[in-house]
Structure 1
Amino acid sequence: MRVAAQLRTSWRDPLQVLSAFAGEPWAIAFLSGGQGPRARWSYLARRPDAVLTMRGDDGREPFRALAELLGPLGETGRDGPPFQGGLAGLASYELGDRVEPLGLARGPDWPDLAVGLYSSVLAFDHERRQVIAVGRGYDEADSEQAAFEAMSWLQDLPRPATRGPLTEGLAASDPAAYETAVAEVVARIHAGEIFQANIARRWAGRLAAGVTPFDLLARLAGQSAAPFAAYLRLAGLAVVSNSPERFIQVDADGGAETRPIKGTRPRGATEADDAGMRGELAASLKDRAENLMIVDLMRNDLARVCAPGSVKAPELFAVESFTNVHHLVSTVRGRLAAGKTAIDLLRAAFPPGSITGAPKVQAMKVIAGLETARGPYCGSLFWAGVGGAFDSSVLIRTAACVQDEQGWRIEARAGAGIVADSEPRAERIETEDKIAALLRALEAGA
């Protein structure tokens, strides 16, 4: 699909548009929240031309399969969105077992990889307040037809929002067991096995009768919009993510970026309390050290496929504020080496260092001994454009939904980065701060 066509129209709310087809298998959304310099574009896609699904027993090399599905890079329309058709989908955490074979356990529900090839995309430009229907094909007529197909989605009738609680509540894993796990990791750090590991707690329950995963996405967007929110519907499965964290991004010229998050404080009840929390996080030597370890890890990951000398960390320890928490965020940038692509970078960096630890491989072994299979949690929802651009999230603040005869089961996790001076109770409270927005969306009325 080397030819692109674009049609432009007036602004529509992407969530309203998505609501009409959110229940279709392979419907996918990337929702920026529309605030800040990294939140200009949102995307919707449906009805892929081809799909790639790989489970743990699939012997194919996944990154080669991704490159083959995407095909050779093609032209992109001028003055258009970064994503103008291509691949979009899910890389579950256990895909990391294909990068470094560790024998990670898999659950029965989630594939390692589930990706579609989309020739029709709706792009929502929050800055210019317009919608661009993008189509790709093998000739001009083919591309225009694909663009008209995307434009037709705007005519579908939106679904009304669901009111009231979305669930009767989620049950949290045992807090004492989590604190014991934290203490074990601290001991292993002091023994020299690792420097840091991200250990998560689990919340699980059911959506209320008649409630769908999209209802949770819409509720989160209204209560606590996030810059890397995303949604994927598969047959009997759905991922609902309200992530604040970018994994890796590549622009069409080969510039690469990652923005790892490490360091958290809750929002204050008053402006003075909130400012105090921000200041405490900014000044915390523990959180800076934790953040810097992951910056060094991500610099190493990028350096595997970037030009020598191009990998830099232009911004360290920036405090960014979200609905429930403040986070410490750093930026690492590089430039892909000649002959390397965004898919090469995905392989070099997956799974994200901010949710594994350092050294990454040994931290993953520690995690595997303390947690069940993560599935989507701490994986990524990503798109890979036909023009070479790429963007992806870290799937934190994320719900994994599985459909059965009774409706929808739902699971969510929240983790904390454990270092040498971590205190188990404080780390457990941090997980509760991180999950709070998701629980509020599920348990409170609209």
Structure 2
Amino acid sequence: MREPHTREIVCFEPSALALRLKGQRNLTLLESVMRSEHLGRYSFLACNPVSTLKVTSEGTFLDDVRQDQSPLAIISRLVAENTQSHLVGLPPFQGGLAGYISYDYGRRLEPHAKIPDFAPLCPDLVLHHYDCVAAFDHMQERAWIIATDVAKADELEEFLSAKPQALGSHVIEGWQSNFTQAEYESAIAQTVEYILAGDIFQANITQMFSAPVPDGFDPLSFYRVLRLKNPATFAAFMDYGDIQIASSSPERLLRCAGATVEARPIKGTRRRDSDPSRDASLIADLTSSRKDRAENVMIVDLLRNDLSRVSKPGSVKVPVLCGLETYANVHHLVSVITSELKDGHGVGDLIGATFPGGSITGAPKIRAMEIVAEIEKAPRGVYCGAIGYIGFNGRTDLNIAIRTAQFSGGIARVQGGGGITARSQPAAEYEESLTKIRRIMEAFRP
């Protein structure tokens, strides 16, 4: 088992250092912008991976070589082949795989689901093997380079010492939704009919806003504005050539440390208000809402079932049920589910059992995914998928890619929506979908 080389560096803001890596291959920034000891403590920055695992409509490729194994089996193999010791006291991602798994990859995990093969917005999965990473501990205000060897660390330190690259425009205008307000409200009403008919208990329905990317637009410049407008615990910026992603997600799909697993589904949302008394009233309305609590509890039950497939009997626990968390633009109800993986099960098995996250599909999951595809009539791409890392030291952390903008094929896309239950009111759900993306849209303005 290998032990990485480490060296401490001056701790700058990770997004500022990303400016110095602009133009390097496959830049990945995983950033805790809304910082706290437990959820928002660490950030990571990497580029120039040694290899890339990619899943497209044509197949699964490792460094452009077609693979016969499934992507999750390849992930498990790469982790086993590159296992390294965990350096205690340093940030948890110390080298390994980082990137995204798109929502649309989920149909590959449920081959019996009746989900169309929509024209893809991006590859279904892109995970880069980084053998050198800059890691930041915001509570200690310290940073390190962690690498497989000294030469790799020297190279990254040199890049991080370079002059920051110039930024372009962050402005995009002319957004159009794939639904009119009336069409979206009709879609919500149709979903409620499915629920009342007994097809499902809940489904997550979204609308997509898109606009042409103008000349001079700079996705990293946009991310720098977004992180200030909507600071989040699981933010990310990725520049993978054909696609760029800027995310300010508050939601964790799962974290794994050794055999210990944690999931943190979000269900239940109210907007923030600048007036303290109105804000307190919105919190009270959220925490007392039977509809929102029922929505949250249904997803907790779904995730307990998902985790039980790969966890030791009796180990699945719910230490927090419908807890309140407050962010820049919204209040959320968040639950926490924990478990211990069965012996012989690894991160590939865990992703296979839990992806996509139940909070952005609905319950039961397979039928909800079918209804989502039928009503939205479009792929989601990275949105509602997962962004994060799978470390070779046994540490994994993946978000759910909500509050996320995607840039590919000359088009910018932003999506927002919510969980629909039998108590949902179409007009209120339409307004909630706009609340979810308000800060993102503000970040695109001049």
TM bin, normalised by shorter chain, reads over 0.9
From 60, 68, 71, the counterpart of 1:62: 71
Equivalence for 1:97: 107
Q: Mind listing any 5+ residue stretches in structure 1 that lack a counterpart?
A: 137-142
Q: Deviations over 1:372-392 (max 9, x none)?
A: 011111101121111111000
- The offset of 1:218, in angstroms, is 0.5
- The offset of 1:160, in angstroms, is 4.5
RMSD: 1.5
Code of the residue aligned with 1:352 in structure 2: it is G
1:266 partnered with 2:282: no
Match of 1:133, SS state, is strand
* 2:120 and 2:381 in contact (8 A); partners too: no
From 336, 342, 351, the counterpart of 2:347: 342
Q: TM-score, normalised by structure 1?
A: 0.94
From 51, 76, 88, the counterpart of 2:98: 88
Q: TM-score, normalised by structure 2?
A: 0.94
- The offset of 1:261, in angstroms, is 0.3
- The offset of 1:162, in angstroms, is 4.9
1:294 partnered with 2:299: yes
1:240 partnered with 2:246: yes
Q: What are the residue-to-residue correspondences of 1:38-437 with 2, within 5 Å?
A: 38-58=39-59, 60=68, 61-72=70-81, 73-101=83-111, 102=113, 103-136=115-148, 143-162=149-168, 166-173=171-178, 174-251=180-257, 253-371=258-376, 372-403=378-409, 408-437=410-439
Relative to structure 1, is the Cα distance of residues 145 and 50 closer, same or farther in structure 2, using a 3 angstrom cutoff?
same
Equivalence for 2:65: none
CA distance in 1, matches of 2:97, 2:402: 21
* 1:120 and 1:149 in contact (8 A); partners too: no
* 1:342 and 1:389 in contact (8 A); partners too: no
Q: Deviations over 1:297-336 (max 9, x none)?
A: 1111111111111110000111111111111101001111
CA distance in 2, matches of 1:435, 1:109: 20
Match of 2:415, SS state, is strand
* 1:198 and 1:415 in contact (8 A); partners too: yes
Code of the residue aligned with 1:88 in structure 2: it is A
Code of the residue aligned with 1:359 in structure 2: it is P
CA distance in 2, matches of 1:153, 1:399: 27
CA distance in 1, matches of 2:244, 2:263: 26
Code of the residue aligned with 2:141 in structure 1: it is R
- The offset of 1:434, in angstroms, is 0.4
Match of 1:354, SS state, is helix
* 1:134 and 1:150 in contact (8 A); partners too: no
Code of the residue aligned with 1:220 in structure 2: it is L
CA distance in 2, matches of 1:160, 1:16: 11
Identity of aligned residues (%): 37
Question: Runs in 1 of length 4+ with deviation above 4 angstroms?
Answer: 160-163
Match of 1:378, SS state, is coil
Relative to structure 1, is the Cα distance of residues 98 and 134 closer, same or farther in structure 2, using a 3 angstrom cutoff?
same
Q: Deviations over 1:212-232 (max 9, x none)?
A: 111111001122211000122
Q: Mind listing any 5+ residue stretches in structure 2 that lack a counterpart?
A: 61-67
Code of the residue aligned with 2:127 in structure 1: it is V
1:33 partnered with 2:33: yes
